[in-house]
Amino acid sequence: MDQTWGLWLRVDAGDATVSVRVTSPWTAHEDVVVPIRPRLTRVVGDHLEAYVADSGELAFRIVGRRFPARTVLPLLRGLVRTNLGVEVWRFLIRAEKMLVKRLTGRATKIMIFNRVLVRLPVKKGTVVFESHLGAQYSDNPKYIYRELRERGTPHRAIWSYSTSKQGFPAEATLVRRGSWAYYRALARAEYWVDNQGFPAGLTKRRQTTYIQTWHGSAYKRMGFDEPSVKQSTWAEHVRRRQMADRFDHFLVRSEHDVRTLATGLGVTAPMTRAGYPRNDPLVNGGDPEETAALRKSLGLADDTRTVVLYAPTFRADENDRPAPRFSSPFDLERFAREFGDSHVLLVRSHYLSTAVVPPGLRGTVIDVGGVHDVTPLLLLADALVTDYSSVMFDYALRDRPMIFYTPDLDEYILRRGTYFDLAEQAPGPVVRDEDGLFAALTDLDRVHRDHADRRRRFVERFGEYDTGTAVKAIVERFFSGGPRG
């Protein structure tokens, strides 16, 4: 059994992490005692006591200060020193892990959800919000939530988070994605609102309305139109169909979405032609105070340099999965040398990836991956550099310079497939090398002027329903009557 624990100090600084053992110059720390409840109950121990090992390292050990732990703990320690005791203890540990895994595993939770939790009464007015699988407080769900808050409607908001509560609204109820509380909230909610997909396998009850907002129009092929999905198993196709069949309403911002995105995902629900709530600020100009606060948080409050946002899509690894780390395909140090006096670059990697920015470039190249919502960044940016990301459709509403840096365009088209020819439709220059990118950045006024007509046609085709009234239309249609029943 685990009897002692060493103490480590971990320091994260930028991309570097340093871990060191904690030592102590004193030989005893009897005054540091913490009450505990071990997994095997207080029969085997009731306190953690600090001590200093022979190596000088500070550690904690389980002790029994009260009956029965004071009697049982020495017996257990003697038992585990025997060969038989070691084997028995290992068997118990393995059995416990298997039992815990089975009882708390995703399959078990989904089974309990479908057979038990959905029999609980629906809590009228409860709305479960989720953005990017719980990774962020952002996107269309965020703006629907904010509108409900500002109107003071009697709805109870529950937000899903995947790892950390940081950045999520403190006034909402927060549940960790995948926890029992999460599944219970979904089972009893009157509304589901998300932009990607609640867990596969959950059977949505008829009393729950699922508003699927999605998270962007499609340039790359999606769902059943993807080459990899076309070659996948019948079971995978069934899984995708079942997920889409749960949608009660599907938000679109153009007929392009209807023809491509909705068809590719297999959506059979009615289309809600209202535009994207997240794009209302892009059309209406947003909140100047919010933009000013963001500038200040990034250290740009009094900075007069041109703000360029670099927001590419993710890159797949050898297994066709999003690579966890994203490195810029152009030289960031060269950018700093040539444009540092006049431009600042905000690097916004896809939410599934983490950007790698050299620490020496801070102040000129800033990693903004920690900003949950991209919309305020789009409002702040004077120009956008992207590739195949759906952010192109949103930023076009700002009528500002856009540059498409696509050194792997041919490979991307072959591997993923696309719905239109980017070179023909893009509302900005499509450049294939670093020199072309830097030349375009040198004269953003010309980029803006030369592509004005293409930008207008791009918005007309891909953002026809983004008129700045999306969130108002959605809240009035689905939530204005308050909780149903």
Residue span of the structural domain in which 415 resides:
286-462
CA 376 to CA 315: how far, in whole Å?
24
Helices (H), 273-403: 280-284, 288-297, 332-339, 375-380, 391-395
**Residues 126 and 77 occupy one common structural domain:** no
User: Under a CB-based contact definition with an 8 Å cutoff, are residues 406 and 432 in contact?
Assistant: yes
What residues form DSSP beta bridges with 62?
A: 48
Residue 354: its pLDDT value, please? 76
Helices (H), 298-344: 332-339
* CATH number of residue 321's parent domain: 3.40.50.12580
* CATH number of residue 236's parent domain: 3.40.50.11820
Residue 6 φ then ψ, to 5° = -85, 160
The encoded tokens of residue 468 equal: 């700045």
CA 142 to CA 46: how far, in whole Å?
45
Report how far Cα 221 is from the mean position of its chain's Cα atoms: 21
**Residues 61 and 200 occupy one common structural domain:** no
Amino acid letter, residue 278: R
Residue 177: its pLDDT value, please? 97
Residue with tokens 């993710």: 314
Cβ neighbours of residue 456 under 8 Å, at least 6 residues apart?
Answer: none
49 within a domain of the structure (yes/no): yes
**Residues 257 and 393 occupy one common structural domain:** no
CA 41 to CA 129: how far, in whole Å?
37
DSSP 121-163: PPEEEEEEEESGGGT-S-HHHHHHHHHHHHHT-SPEEEEEESS
CA 349 to CA 364: how far, in whole Å?
17
85 within a domain of the structure (yes/no): yes
Contacts of 317-321 spanning 24+ positions with Cβ under 8 A: 320/228
User: Under a CB-based contact definition with an 8 Å cutoff, are residues 59 and 7 in contact?
Assistant: yes
111 within a domain of the structure (yes/no): no
**Residues 131 and 43 occupy one common structural domain:** no
Cβ neighbours of residue 367 under 8 Å, at least 6 residues apart?
Answer: 347, 349, 355, 357
Cβ neighbours of residue 151 under 8 Å, at least 6 residues apart?
Answer: 475
**Residues 218 and 129 occupy one common structural domain:** yes
485 within a domain of the structure (yes/no): no
Total of domains in the chain:
3
**Residues 141 and 48 occupy one common structural domain:** no
**Residues 160 and 48 occupy one common structural domain:** no
Cβ neighbours of residue 150 under 8 Å, at least 6 residues apart?
Answer: none
266 within a domain of the structure (yes/no): yes
280 within a domain of the structure (yes/no): no
Within 10 angstroms of residue 178's Cβ, the number of other Cβ atoms is 16
484 within a domain of the structure (yes/no): no
Q: For CA atoms 262, 266, 272, 277, give the dihedral sign.
A: negative
Residue 327: its pLDDT value, please? 79
Q: Where are the beta strands (DSSP E) in 164-276?
A: 173-176, 189-194, 209-212, 249-252, 271-273
**How many H helices and E strands in the chain?**
20, 21
Residue 108: its pLDDT value, please? 92
**Residues 131 and 192 occupy one common structural domain:** yes
Give the 3-state secondary structure of residue 101: helix
The encoded tokens of residue 302 equal: 């009094």
User: Under a CB-based contact definition with an 8 Å cutoff, are residues 280 and 471 in contact?
Assistant: yes
**Residues 137 and 100 occupy one common structural domain:** no
Cβ neighbours of residue 243 under 8 Å, at least 6 residues apart?
Answer: 197, 200
User: Under a CB-based contact definition with an 8 Å cutoff, are residues 273 and 465 in contact?
Assistant: yes
**Residues 35 and 100 occupy one common structural domain:** yes
Where is 354: in which H helix or E strand?
strand 354-356
Residue 1: its pLDDT value, please? 47
**Residues 300 and 210 occupy one common structural domain:** no
378 within a domain of the structure (yes/no): yes
The domain boundary, picked from 55, 72, 104, lies at 104
User: Under a CB-based contact definition with an 8 Å cutoff, are residues 48 and 33 in contact?
Assistant: yes
Residue with tokens 């029943």: 485
Q: Residue 205: which of 127, 113, 125, 109 has the closest Cα?
A: 113
pTM assigned to the model = 0.82
CA 108 to CA 199: how far, in whole Å?
13
Tens-binned pLDDT, residue by residue, of the chain (485 aa): 456 667 778 777 655 677 777 777 665 566 677 777 776 666 667 777 787 877 777 787 777 777 777 777 777 777 777 888 777 767 767 776 777 677 778 899 999 999 999 999 999 999 999 999 999 999 999 999 999 999 999 999 999 999 999 999 999 999 999 999 999 999 999 999 999 999 999 999 999 999 999 999 999 999 999 998 999 999 999 999 999 999 999 999 999 999 999 999 999 999 999 999 999 999 999 999 999 999 999 999 999 999 999 999 987 666 666 666 777 889 999 999 999 999 999 999 877 777 778 878 888 999 998 899 999 999 999 999 999 999 999 999 999 999 999 999 999 999 889 999 999 999 999 999 999 999 999 999 999 999 999 999 999 999 999 999 999 999 999 998 756 54
Helices (H), 225-331: 227-230, 234-245, 255-257, 263-265, 280-284, 288-297
The domain boundary, picked from 104, 130, 153, lies at 104
**Residues 474 and 458 occupy one common structural domain:** no
